Each structure stands twice: as C-alpha cells, then as structure tokens.
Structure 1
Amino acid sequence: MSPHNILFLMTDQHRVDTLGAYGNTVVETPALDGLAARGTRFDRFYTPTAICTPARASLATGLHPFRHGLLANPERAAGGQDELNESQPLLWPQLRAAGYQVGHVGKWHIGREHGPEHHGLDGEHLPGALNPVRHPSYQRWLADRGLPPFAVTDPVFGTAANGVGRGHLIAGRLRQPVEATVEAFLTDRTLALLERYAAGRRTSGRPFMLSCHWFGPHLPYLVPDHYYDLYDPDDVVLPESMAETFAGKPDVQRRYSEYWSADAFDADAWRKLNAVYWGYVTMIDHQIGRILRALEEYGLGDDTAVFFTADHGEFTGGHRLNDKGPAMYEDIYRVPAIARVPGGPAQVSDAFATLTDLNPTLLDIAGLPASEPCDGDSLLPLLTGDTGGARAVLDRTEVVAEFHGHHFPYSQRMIRDRRYKLVHNPESVHELYDLDRDPHELRNVHGSPAYADVRRELTGRLYRELLRRGDPAHSWMGYTADIGGHRAPDLDGVADDLG
C-alpha cells in the first residue's frame, strides 16, 4: 500500500478557547470536536511567530522565521524579504516528487506574488490577508450559482487613535446566505479537488495531500445573520486579562491598544464582538464538517491523515488588545492543533510542539526524510503512540518563539516552559510571568527580587538556545542580558583577547 493521504485544514487567527475540544461549553464545533475525540489534541502547541506570513512560511520550510527570511506580512513589511528563497526545499514539491497529488485551496499568504501554482500545486493564488471578496474566481462562482454579491451592513468600527476618522473594521452583518460566503466557496473548491484526488487514488493508487486554508476567523468578523446572532453575548465570559493596566510592561503594548482602540468598546460591546467571533468559528466548523463527511463517503477515512491547526491566535480584547502584534501572550502564541492518523490512538498530548514540526511530520507520513536543513521534529511517532520514537518531542522542556514586527519593525524573543515565560524585548523592559500563579499574564515579575534566580536561569537558557539556532539575536543578549554562566565561549575569548 502506498503512503497515506493527507488532509490539512487551517484557520487564521484562531483562539484555542473557542473550541469545545479545548473546554468551551458554549461554542458548537462538532466537526473539530469529533476529530479530536478520534485523534490527538495538542494542549501545548505554539506558533513560531504570531503573524501570518512567517508562521505559514515555517510550515512550508520547516525553518525558524529568522532562517527562512519572511519576517512579516508583505502588506506590512518590516524589513524582511517578500518571497521564499527558491533554494529552500519546500514541503509540497517534495511530496509531488514522491508521487503525491498535491492541491491547495484558500489563503496562501506566503510571500507577495508567488502562489501555490508557482510551486507546482493544484490551486489558485488568492492573494492578501483577508477574504478575497473581489477576486474574479469568487465573483464567477457567485454568478454561476445565482448567488448575491458580497455586501455588509451594520459595520462595527474602532476609533482612530489620532482622533481623525474611524479606526479598523472589526465586525459586520454579511448580507449573503451561508452558501454564498467565501468560506463556502473555498469548501466547494476543496470538495472538487477531493473528488478528483479520490478518483486518482482508486485508479492509480496515487496518494494526495489536500489543504484548505480559510481566511477566518480573522477579523473583521463578517458573517450572515444566523451566525452573527447565534450566541448570546450574556454567555460570553470576558478574559480576566481585560483588567490589563500595562504597568511594568513595554510601552508598545499601550500604544498598540490605542491603535486598535480596544478601550472604545465597553464590556457589553466586547461580549457581542466575542459572540460574533464565536459564530464565525462555528460557521467554519460547519464547512470543515462538509469536507470530513465527503472524506468518509469516498471511503478514505481510514487511509487519510487529517490535521487541523491555525497560524496564530487573536486577542479579541484580551490584554486590552485586538488582532495580534508586539506582545507574546498565550492568546496569540498558543494555537489549536488536532491530528488523526490511521491507526493512531485517541489521546491528549501536553508535549511542546509548533507549526515548524508539522513540516517533517507530513514528510514522514509520506515516507520521506526531513528536509535539510530542518528545525522541526516529526510528530508522527507521538501521533501513532510510539513513545520511544517520540522522545525528541516528549523530552522537550520549553518552546522558543520569535517576532520581528507588524506595521513596524519590532524584535522579540520568548522562552516558555511549563511554569514560566520570559520575553526579551531589546528596546524596552523585559517580561517574566509565573504562569502557575498568574495564568493571565497580568503581573510582570521580571524586576522582582524573589524571581531573580528564575529570571537569570531563563535568560541564560534563551541565550543558549538562540546561540544554538544561529539566531543573530543572541549577540545582543550576549552583551546586554544577565546570562550568568551561560555566556558563549567565543565571547569570553574575545574579551580575554582584548583584555
């Protein structure tokens, strides 16, 4: 039997706490909950960086963002490159070379101009960060089905921080039926490719990898009335981090809050916005259900590895912030991740894992070695219950993430273990959170004498990991941070030579 098929489902800007599988008792997500019940739900899954393009590029390459070079969304360039380096081995061409049928539907956002077809995938480039409501393909799809065009009423805007004009669009009522939404459009396209690939699997035995990446529930939350009003705002419990004062925090967080005008909405308004966001999540879950049912109808359920994840999370008012940005809180760095592989057990994993690990995992499913170079580890042994083979992942004690800017250059590095999180901000105050005592990350204890040993230990561990990776940020830390005995020998040698 040839290698298993792969169905890869991805959302954008998706909070972990919106899924029933992750403990939400109000939001209806039957498709994803069912997938989690039959596979592996990751409880400590992180994005390598909470911004679309570099996170997706890490999935494509298996490399840390500083290594693949796409450091920010091209629409908000922060000094990085706009396209992937053609010399870097990408996931999908390797699968094609191994005989896979490979298709991609939906959001790509890996670079500015080169879409999936540029890399040999079946699919069309739908450029940009948001739903492509003006794209000719979507317009033709609507016309062919006699469906009404995109239109929004009752828009909800923020307030411009400079007091001139209105701020960002946050939500609105979509004047279309569900079957006319971009989400339905992407699902229809995915189903068409799935039918074609299923036929290819039957006739030639060729496996497939098919991806569907929705643009939501990324703001603005533009959904039909049914989903806009699906949840009662009174059932929304606002995050405790909305009590954020920014005391002892980098000032950029306060400025970003002003930019997104989070304080322009009172508690009732935020409850409604969160309820609409939940409705968006349910709408996408219903589309996922359509695809999973088709997979079973084609008799492919036992022969297909299914993955679901998101590129990063969203604040939705947490920490008096919205969207994502220069703050490395759990709201946007911890993401949902569910995987079901043929023969794998139903389980919950608390091992640290990231999007970067999914690149070698998917290649492993296809019987292919990891790319060279590759910064991730295959999760396949863990997914199949092979604890011995999964030691590289199971033995991890921490996760490290990076950020390079969005709207403007801004460098950050984070190390997070099972109790603490340290965020290194070269231009500002650093952050340290005791997640056992302060799970909502409200109190920065970086300067607290009681945490001096923890601070020094984590700073040193972060420095050594950045040095090991070759991340240039280690150099700045080597001269400015309290890294104790973790200092690299080359720096000590230079000091001795100069002394």
Structure 2
Amino acid sequence: MSRKPNILFIITDQQRADWLGCYGHPVLKTPNIDSLAATGTRFDEFHVASPVCMPNRASLMTGRYPSVHGLRYNGCLLPKNSVTFVDVLAEAGYHTAGIGKSHLQPFTGIASEPRVADDELGYYKEARNTDSASYDIEETAHLETGLSHAVPELPYYGFEQLNLLTGHGFKSGGHYTQWLLQQDPDGLELLKPGNQLPHNYSCPQATRLPIPEELYPTTYVKQKALNYLDSRQGRDEPFFAFVSFNDPHHPFNPPGRYWDQYKPAEFTLPPDYEQLVNPIPPMQRAREEYLSGQPPKTMETVFMASPDQIREAMALTAGMISMIDDAVGEIIDKLKATGQYDNTVIIFTSDHGDFLGDHSLMLKGAIPYRGITRVPFIWSDPLNRNAGSCSSLASTVDIAPSLIRRAQSKPYWGIQGRDITPLVMNEPAAGREQLLVEYEDGMVRFGFDQPAMVRSLLSKDHRLTLYKGQPFGELYNLSDDPFESHNRFDDTDYRAVKASLTESLAQQMMHAMETSPRASRRA
C-alpha cells in the first residue's frame, strides 16, 4: 500500500464560485488560488447540500444531508454521537487539527424564535431525548478565560487539536480573542464598530475597523496553520488540517490596504429584480419591504440593496478574498518549505455562496439561486498535479466519502455522498445527473409567512424548487436562462418538464432518507 497522503483542507465562508480568477472573475485577483487550480482539478458545477453555514458544514463533516444529520438550520447542532470523516481519518492514523471556524454548534446563547411554546408541550418536549453532552462549546464565553486558551473536550467531532475562531468581522471571537489580546492588550477596541475609521460607503454592514492586517482574523487562521505545518515537519504520521477562514462573510470589513484594493466602479452588476419574470410571492414582498425602507429582521437576514451599495459590497468582498488569497499563498509556500508538499492533497472550497447583487439581493436565504448554492471546489493531488476541470455535478456530501477513500480507509454505513476521486484522477466514472439541495429556516423572514422549508433539484439544464405548504415554486431552464430570471413553474409549455423533474426530486429525497443504523436481526 502506498504512503497515506497528508490532507490540507482550506475552506472560506460565504464565497460563490465565480468570485475567483480561475473561475473567470474579470476584476478579482487571486493568483495563489489560481495557481492551486493550475495544479489540480477545478469543479465547475459543485453545489452545497444546504446554502447556509451550519447545516452545510455538518454535511461536509458527515457526508449526510441536513434532514438526516439533524443540523437542519442555523441554531441547531450536530449531535456528539455523529460520525464524521475526521473520526475515520483519526482512527486510520491521521493527526487531525481544526484551525479557524468550525460552527458545528451555535456561536451565541441567544434563544431561537419559538415555533411552539413549552407550556403547550408535555413532560417530554422532543421526539428524541437529548443526550447529556454539552453543546455550548463554541459560545464565546466558553472559549475566553483570562489569557488562557480554554480547550473543549477533545476529540471534537474527530479533531484532536483545535484553534477555534467564532463569529465574523467585529463579532469574531473564540480562541482568536485570546491570541488578539496577547498581541495587543487593547485589541478588543480594534473590533468595536464604534471605533471604525471614516469612510464614504453606504452599504449596510460596511465597517472600516481600525484593526491592522496583522491582527485580523484571517491572519490568525493563517498563522495557526503555518505553526501547525511547522509542527508536522519530519513526522511519519500523516495529518489532516482543516483551515477555515471566516471571510468573506459579512460584515464587509477588510482591513488596511485591502479596504482600498478595489473600487466599486470596477464591478459590473448582475441582472436585478426588475429583470425577473414571475417572481415568487416572497420575492415580491421582500421587494416591497425594501422599497418601504423596512430593515431586515436580523443581521444575518437577506436584504435588497441599491446598485451603488451592491458595488460597494463587491469591492469590499473582493478585498477580503484577496487577503485570503495572500494567506493561501503563504500556507502553500510553507508546505513546500517544510518538504511536505509532494505528499499533500490540497482542497479549496467554501461552505456556501452569496447573492452579491443577484436580482438585487445580498447575503443568502431561502431562494436557492445559483449564487448561493454553487461554490468553488479545487482538488490538487500529488497523484495528479495536472490542470483540469470537471463539469460533472458534485455536492458537499461527496467530500467525506472521497477523503475517506483517498486516506485509504473505508466508509461507514449511512454516508450519503459519492466518491468523486475518480473524477479527480481522470478515471472513467459516471458523474451525477442531478442533485438535491435542502434548506430550512428557523424563523419567519424574507417575505415568507412561515419558516421556509425548501427542496431543490439541480440538473445541468434545470432547477426545480418546491416550498413546503406553498402553492408557488420555481422552475428555470438554465440552458436558456443561466441567471434564473424567468420562472417557468406555471408555464404550460413546461408541464412535462415540471412533472419529470418533480418525480426526480421525489427520488432524490428518498435516496436522502435515513438508513442508519442497520437492522441487527430479521425481525
């Protein structure tokens, strides 16, 4: 058996696929990630299992859909008894490290929006008894104790070493806060929006923090990754390093020179709301709320913005991505300098995308336009450092079984993704013809009259989306309408296509149903 490879897994937060140079962005400069793509396979149709942080990160870790692993929407949690591919790698002899954002448990102790009052329930509040494990590990207060690094009980979902970064922008915390205070005892003042530097941007959540580049969260993740790679030099034991940046997720606050690196006027806007034909009622209501000046429900809620505001957000997002690109370059240089590059698989991806102006929208939400479901995915492997691209559909749930195979291990029962390593190695393989995307919300917002539950079927040519309890839906012909502007859901000319896709969606949902545990007896 050949030597097991190291695996360096780099993930960003809220980055759509077309916001990299190697994916064709005309303005954004990402030379280091582009160089990575030039030594590996770039997947052009890689989509998330759910277009929101926590559910999709849990799908990445487990290879299972949110409806099955249980972390269905932000604020839920991944049960401690869940098996992750990191568990498999650790059992197979890998040293495993989580560096940066995890978000498998909630960041805050803020109560969720109740769907039913406790006094309407009996003694037993849930269909499943909750276990006795602690699920407040990623809350800021549990990671910041004096100047010491509070460490959760290890292993943590398979990770034997942790350097946690929680939150985003001025809300960044976790072990990062302790590192920040060690660098500068007054460092927390640099994260306060009230201390921001003057600027002329009107985009919501554009915040020019006074924090220097060397103290920004991206630098923390980079530095911890560099330290980890130094510590693994000369070891026989292979490593798995999960290097997770919390940018370019909003708020829009690139530090130092990255704030001014791009100008709003450089960016071209995608089709706006006015180009939509037959938009669903929540989009219409969201538009009415925007025009009336009604603010979004929370800082995390999708909102509409003006063309100038969208261009501003684009420029600041590009600055955050360029800072990450510089960090990626240093990390890969460290791999080479320590003699580990030639035996290291390097993967780059993101947990979900961002509307970034699609149909006048910002952030992400219940309507699964391609801007939030399609993410970058690059696999550079020492067995095939040749540049290539893959047009096959692939999903976040495919990552776990693929890394398990590449680590020369075997999968567990109940894993739902497909092994995509043959596509990386240019071996004959049948790619996906269709894939499932799930979404569930924990509150009523963004023009919906109930918490949205959404199921979508993606194929090369179409997207079909159904909304629980709603008479409306979406159907787009992606071949003729790549920006998803003309909703054909009620178009009589598309009845046959709609019926066929609806049946396919039902099949995909059945494939995504729970199969674990296996029966131990016949009856």
What's the TM-score once normalised by structure 2's chain length?
0.80
Counterpart residue number, 1:11: 12
Query: Does residue 190 of the first structure (1) align with residue 225 of the second (2)?
Result: yes
Counterpart among 396, 402, 427 of residue 469 in structure 2: 427
The reply to whether residue 380 of structure 1 matches residue 429 of structure 2 is: no
1:364 aligns with 2:405: yes
Q: How far has the Cα of 1:25 moved from its partner?
A: 2.4
- Paired residue for 1:278, among 290, 308, 318? 318
Alpha-carbon distance, 1:145 to partner: 3.5
* Aligned partners of 2:9 and 2:346 also within 8 Å: yes
What is the DSSP-based 3-state SS (H/G/I as helix, E as strand, rest coil) of the residue aligned with 1:286?
Answer: helix
Given that 1:155 and 1:171 are in contact with CA atoms closer than 8 Å, whether structure 2 keeps it comes out as no
The aligned amino acid for 1:82 is L
Is the CA contact (8 Å cut-off) linking 1:329 and 1:441 kept in structure 2? yes
Deviations 1:246-272 (A, max 9, x none): 744132564387454988743223212
Q: Deviations over 1:15-47 (max 9, x none)?
A: 212100000121110111000011000000000
Structure 1: which 5+ runs fail to align? 75-80, 159-167, 473-499
Unaligned stretches of 5+ in structure 2? Answer: 107-135, 139-151, 445-450, 516-523
Deviations 1:455-482 (A, max 9, x none): 111111111221333389xxxxxxxxxx
Give the equivalent residue in structure 2 for 1:47: 48
1:239 alignment counterpart: 270
**CA pair 246-71 structure 1, distance change in 2 beyond 3 A:** farther
Q: Structure 1 length as normaliser, TM-score? A: 0.84
SS of 1:172 mapped into structure 2: coil
Partners in 2 of 1:25 and 1:157 — Cα distance? 23
Superposed CA RMSD: 2.5
Please, which of 219, 226, 229 is the counterpart of residue 250 of structure 2?
Answer: 219
The CA distance in 1 between the partners of 2:251 and 2:198, in whole Å, is 12
The answer to whether the 8 A contact 2:280-2:474 is kept is: yes
Distance 1:430 1:134 in 2: 37
Within 5 Å, give how 1:298-377 maps onto structure 2: 298-344=338-384, 345-377=386-418
CA distance in 1, matches of 2:324, 2:422: 30
Q: Within the alignment, does 1:119 sit opposite 2:119 as a pair? A: no
Kept after mapping to 1: 8 A contact 2:164/2:176:
no
Secondary structure, counterpart of 1:356 in structure 2: helix
Stretch deviating more after TM superposition (260-269 or 207-216): 260-269
1:83 to 2:78 alignment: yes
User: Kindly tell me: are residues 212 and 359 of structure 1, through their superposed partners in 2, closer, same or farther at Cα, counting changes over 3 Å?
Assistant: same
Percent pairwise identity: 30
User: Where does residue 398 of structure 1 map in the other structure?
Assistant: 434
Q: Does 1:97 find its partner at 2:135?
A: no
Deviation at residue 132 of structure 1 after TM alignment:
7.4
Out of 252, 260, 266, the position equivalent to 1:229 is: 260
Tell me, in whole angstroms, the C-alpha distance in 1 between the residues paired with 2:452 and 2:398: 25
1:281-317 deviation digits (Å, cap 9, x = unpaired): 1111111111011011111111000000001001122
- Whole-Å separation in 1 of the counterparts to 2:380 and 2:303: 41
Structure-2 residue corresponding to 1:165 = none
2:493 to 429, 450, 458: 450
- Aligned residue identity for 2:433: T
Q: Supply the distance in 1 between the matched residues of 2:424 and 2:53 (Cα, whole angstroms).
A: 26
Q: Which amino acid aligns with 1:91?
A: F
Cα distance in 2 between the residues matched to 1:293 and 1:434: 43
More helix by share: 1
Alignment match, 2:282: 251
- 1:196–1:400: structure 2 CA closer, same or farther, 3 Å change rule? same
The equivalent residue for 2:23 is: 22
